[in-house]
Structure 1
Amino acid sequence: MPTAVPESSEGLSPRFQRPGLKDPRLLMGLLLIALSIVAVVSVVSLGNKTEPFYVATRDMAVGEEVKASDFALADVRLAEAGQHYIPQEKTIAEGSVVTSRITSGQLVPATALAQELTDGRRTASITIDSAYASTLTPGKHVDIWIATKAQGTTTTYNDPEVVMEAAEVSTISNEESLIGGTGKSAVQLLVAEESLSAILKAINNEDKINLVPSDYKKQG
């Protein structure tokens, strides 16, 4: 039986010809591959895209006015979450007021700064023992209890009463030298305007003022 001899490429029928570089089918296939690669690279690039956002360079309490040096820029990848924070293109105006506590290194929330504190709270500074002040932290909420002096005496006090619940601790000064090295610390509170008069009166009269963490009451 005679052995079949393979035909040379020149002898192949047109149906089985190898596609040349100008073959539209080959060009279309190469184009599709190129488009697929570009699409994948684009998706990966978008997923890894970072943008500059403001971060705090120090702790900032509610009611504080800010300045440019209080912030720095950091390149972060937030995607859709970026709408909740302040990007570089939105300049932070000096003199803006902190409306919710910001900690050092934290991305600055878009709702944490305003032109003024509009929730009606005022600041009041109360002096307490440093040992107790050390158990408090900014952002914590306390109930303010006041025991007024009994009439005609400087050593006897009436039963304490709550003048405000859930006052927010703004700042704590543990530098005893600021108040004479007496073992006392100044705690600045954010209080309701209607409670401010009673608190200031107690301070001026040297009544006893106690701060009781609000969460103790909740746990009970």
Structure 2
Amino acid sequence: MSLGASTPAARLKKPSWKDPRLLVGLLLVLASIASVAAVVGNADQTTEVYAARETLAVGQPVTGDAVVKVRVRLGDLEPTYFTAAQALPEHQVAVRMVGKGELVARSSLGRVDALDRKPAGLNIEDALPKEVVVGSRVDVWVSLPDAKNGYAEPQLLLPGAEVAALAPGSTALGATKATALHVLVSDAQMPKLLGALANKAKVAVVWNPAGGK
């Protein structure tokens, strides 16, 4: 063969739709797109539900002003919460404390007659531990006056009572060293507490780290 001779370049064959390699590549692209779409779709499966705007105390009426709407992923738990797609039921109160930002579960609301505990006010003159906050548990002790112008031995009246509210109170002289404490009391316990308060009992509360147990 002479050096001046040249061999014609091989021409590329135009791919055909019947080419198996082209079909396999197309299927892989479509599968990849479907997988990405499924991942994005699953990531966006959130539900708009209600959360407490501020802490909801037991017995507090719960209306649209008391809640905010948030989007969360609930999955199978969705039926246990109120979704924003439906309005909150009317004439409902909190039957348990709902903390600020906590999702409003269906079990946390009910009618007033469903309450099995009611808040009772206590004026506490002694300083409270920092752990005593709304939602914490305390033991309420009472000491009844005796015949010697003193007080009888303290008795545990309300073990593990839930704190519903607390705020600066006032003493007889108008000072603000005392604390107005509201605890949740059952109907069965209420007569004993009211009787102790009516008899000028001295009341003390002790933080109960074990809660209601």
* TM-score, scaled to structure 1: 0.77
Structure 1 residue ranges, 4+ long, deviating more than 6 angstroms after superposition: 1-4
Which residue in the other structure is 2:95 paired with?
Answer: 99
The answer to whether the 8 Å contact 2:169/2:177 transfers is no
CA drift at 1:131: 3.2
Q: Number of residues paired by the alignment?
A: 208
Is 1:212 the counterpart of 2:206? The answer is yes
CA drift at 1:89: 2.0
Alpha-carbon distance between aligned partners in 2 of 1:102 and 1:53, rounded to the nearest angstrom: 14
Q: What do the CA deviations read for 1:118-163 (whole angstroms, capped 9, x no partner)?
A: 4632321111127337652111111121111114x6x322111112
CA drift at 1:184: 2.4
Distance verdict in 2 for CA 1:49–1:204, change over 3 Å? same
Q: What amino acid is the match of 1:195?
A: Q
CA drift at 1:175: 5.4
The answer to whether the 8 Å contact 1:133/1:172 transfers is no
Percent identity for Structure 1 against Structure 2: 26
Distance verdict in 2 for CA 1:162–1:130, change over 3 Å? closer
Distance verdict in 2 for CA 1:217–1:147, change over 3 Å? farther
Is 1:189 the counterpart of 2:161? The answer is no
Distance verdict in 2 for CA 1:94–1:186, change over 3 Å? farther
Q: What amino acid is the match of 2:146?
A: A
Distance verdict in 2 for CA 1:27–1:135, change over 3 Å? closer
Greater mean alpha carbon deviation, residues 93-102 or residues 62-71? 93-102
Choose from 7, 18, 28 the match for 1:23.
18
Q: What do the CA deviations read for 1:168-195 (whole angstroms, capped 9, x no partner)?
A: 1111122549x94453222111112221
Greater mean alpha carbon deviation, residues 162-171 or residues 31-40? 31-40
Distance verdict in 2 for CA 1:217–1:166, change over 3 Å? closer
Which residue in the other structure is 2:35 paired with?
Answer: 39
Greater mean alpha carbon deviation, residues 165-174 or residues 25-34? 25-34
* TM-score, scaled to structure 2: 0.79
Is 1:63 the counterpart of 2:59? The answer is yes
The answer to whether the 8 Å contact 1:86/1:109 transfers is yes
- Please show how residues 3-152 of structure 1 align to structure 2 within 5 Å: 5=7, 8-9=10-11, 18-20=14-16, 22-23=17-18, 25=20, 26-27=22-23, 29-116=25-112, 118=114, 120-129=116-125, 131-132=127-128, 136-151=132-147
Q: Alignment RMSD, CA only?
A: 3.3
Q: What amino acid is the match of 2:195?
A: K
Which residue in the other structure is 1:174 paired with?
Answer: 168
Say which SS state the counterpart of residue 209 (structure 1) adopts: strand
CA drift at 1:165: 0.9
Higher helix content, 1 or 2: 1
Q: What do the CA deviations read for 1:31-53 (whole angstroms, capped 9, x no partner)?
A: 44224312322222321343322
Alpha-carbon distance between aligned partners in 2 of 1:189 and 1:69, rounded to the nearest angstrom: 25
Q: What amino acid is the match of 2:154?
A: P
Alpha-carbon distance between aligned partners in 2 of 1:176 and 1:89, rounded to the nearest angstrom: 45
Alpha-carbon distance between aligned partners in 1 of 2:18 and 2:160, rounded to the nearest angstrom: 79
Alpha-carbon distance between aligned partners in 1 of 2:210 and 2:10, rounded to the nearest angstrom: 94
The answer to whether the 8 Å contact 2:168/2:177 transfers is no
